[in-house]
Copies of this chain bind each other. A is one copy, B any other.
């Protein structure tokens, strides 16, 4: 192996920079060359390559976002696009790649590797949603739950001051991990996640019963992917049957950025080291994960196909503790 390249793809996640840093420095430590590909698959097609040194990744471990940037690539969905990408990689003597991203990034990788099996690819799970099979935690997830929690802590100050009911929508199109953990951490009255069916009448009963018991304020946390249709729609429905003054907040993109937490920095670094090690051992087509504290390799197709499940004890806890 002469050169190992690294790129970030899909939605940015805090810890991606820590992972890039680990990939670059581990590569250099093994006396290989490190190349950064800017803007994911699109940059691969356009040949947007960066010969990286140890100092190229100095002082980035604490930064949110990704210094390699990210982009959607329509071109990579075409055989012509992928052929161009392959030609660029060959021309640059790159035969190993670390892809930091989520579902979409690994789907792209699978197709590419079938066509060009001489390019070895290993993935690192970079997404705040924690929705990848093959790892207990994805890069950025721990930061995102703290960011969302801090925002809801703020909202609780106002909810308490004004006897209000707040519906707060957090990220999570397919997975309720953020909603569930943030809901528990902020003492939310209810948490609505895609993984379990919401009984709106039940929710209304709970809220009405709280109101009669002089519980003057409440937070309901809703995952954006919940089948109730999101916080606005749900609030409309509840408002009709509930005496509370209701408000809605969509946390939105502020959940994505920010300085990574300690766990995100350490895990991302560890996964970056492990990804290079996997390439050097001749592995390809696998995603690096951390399960029960150990590094695990999961084939891309499984990482994409299966899903982690929310611990049912957490669902019960919302009910017991609120």
Q: A residues touching B (Cβ–Cβ < 8 Å)?
A: 8, 11-12, 14, 21-22, 25-26, 29, 39, 59, 61-66, 69-71, 136, 142, 145-147, 149-158, 160-163, 166, 181-182, 184-187, 247, 249-259, 261-263, 265-266, 269-270, 273, 292-293, 295, 311, 313-314, 317, 320-321
Q: In whole angstroms, what is the CA distance A258 to B152 when docked?
A: 9
From known contacts A71-B162, A252-B250, infer whether A157 and B258 are also in contact, taking CB-CB under 8 Å.
yes
| C-alpha spacing A194/B320, complex, angstroms | 41
A63 to B255, CA, bound (A): 20
Q: How many copies of this chain are found per oligomer?
A: 4
The 3 nearest A-B residue pairs measured at CB: A157-B257, A65-B157, A154-B257
B185 in contact with A266 (CB, 8 Å): yes
Q: Are A266 and B181 in contact (CB under 8 A)?
A: yes
Q: Which of B145, B158, B266, B270 contacts A257 (CB 8 A)?
A: B158
- With both chains docked as a complex, state the minimum distance between the C-beta of A70 and any C-beta of chain B, in angstroms: 5
Q: Which chain B residues border A59 with CB–CB below 8 Å? A: 156, 160, 187
From B61, B158, B163, A253 is in contact (CB under 8 Å) with: B158
Q: Is the CB of A320 within 8 A of B29?
A: yes
Residue of B nearest to A184 (CB): B266
| A146 lies within 8 A of B257 (CB) | no
Task: State whether A65 touches B266 (Cβ < 8 A).
Answer: no
Instruction: Say yes or no: A161-B249 contact (C-beta < 8 A), given A26-B320, A269-B184.
Output: no
Within the assembled complex, what's the spacing in Å between the Cα atoms of A270 and B313? 8
Which residue of chain B is the closest to A64 with respect to CB atoms?
B157
Chain B residues closer than 8 Å to A320, beta-carbon distance:
22, 25-26, 29, 273
How distant is A60 from chain B, measured CB to nearest CB, in Å? 9
Q: Is the CB of A149 within 8 A of B256?
A: no
Q: What B residues does A8 contact at CB under 8 A?
A: 161
Q: Are A253's CB and B62's CB within 8 A?
A: no
In the complex, chain B residues whose CB is within 8 Å of the CB of A70: 161-162
